[in-house]
Amino acid sequence: MDDLTVRFWGTRGSIPTPGRETEKFGGNTTCIEVRYGDALIVFDAGSGIREMGLSWMQEFSGESIDANLLFTHVHWDHIQGFPFFGCAYQPQTSLTIYGAERPGGGMQQLLSGQMSGDWFPVPLSAMQAKMDFRTVTDEFKIGPVTIKPFQLPHPGGALGYRVEAGDSVFVLATDCELDQVATNRDELKTDNFKPRQYDKELLKFFRGAQLLVIDCQYTDELYKNCVGWGHNSVATVVDICAQVHRV
Ligand SMILES: [Zn+2]
């Protein structure tokens, strides 16, 4: 039986944060690599994807690379590393790129936007990798891996992903403010220390995960001043985890 492995190449939000204070977890923005057998799956192309690409070029050293790049959303910290992803400039690379349609277009338009005009000297069309762009709507398969996308409340929208492979379940829910969809959200407006209640359909995406990667940017104290900014408090995440066993 293959193992599902998860490797973090970028863990930060908003902007890369180099320096001594971030050396433990690294200063790069979001990029997470998941492998299962031959399946190569990458979530988001924050600045961490640059180092991942350098590592892959050593590992595969000229051999073909067949990878899947899944975007949660296209806020800049989740796409800014893509122009620096070395493997995308190599003709022996094949990339299947998944994401949601946004008002600005599909993933091809959204990724080429940051590489066009005054913003970047090299256009997306200069990347020699074979790219297949797909709009995520429903559950899909990558080899033996099942990917279940779900909507997350975040400014402009974001996707969470439940990854099922063999007996392993990994759930990624970066960038979300789940209080916005709590069934008792009106009650929370007057008392944000009340336990949050969630719809069963949402809880099902979290059920049985051995590893959950989820936004928990704020303490409850800080969150009071940041409602509507699109990120969870720690207590929200605790409430979600306490409830998943009930569905
Ligand atoms: Zn975001």
Residue with tokens 């720690």: 234
Residues 156 and 185 in one domain: no
Q: Residue 153: pLDDT above 80?
A: yes
- pTM tops 0.75, yes or no: yes
Residues around the ion ligand 1 (C-beta < 5 A): 75, 175
Residues 151 and 203 in one domain: no
Residues 64 and 141 in one domain: yes
Residues 110 and 188 in one domain: no
Residues 19 and 59 in one domain: yes
C-alpha 166 to ligand 1 mean position (Å): 30
Cα distance between the two ends of the chain? 28
Instruction: Count up the domains in the chain and report the number.
Output: 2
C-alpha 183 to ligand 1 mean position (Å): 23
What is the SS3 string spanning 2-70?
CCEEEEEEECECCCCCCCHHHCCCCCCECEEEEEECCEEEEECCCCHHHHHHHHHHHHHCCCCEEEEEE
**CA torsion 28→163→231→77, rounded to 10°?**
30
Residues 189 and 96 in one domain: no
Name the residue range of residue 194's domain: 176-247
- CATH number where 54 lies: 3.60.15.10
Residues 140 and 209 in one domain: no
CB 233 within 8 A of CB 219: yes
Question: pLDDT tens digits for 44-89?
Answer: 999 999 999 999 999 999 899 999 999 999 999 999 999 999 999 9
Residues 128 and 191 in one domain: no
Residues 126 and 205 in one domain: no
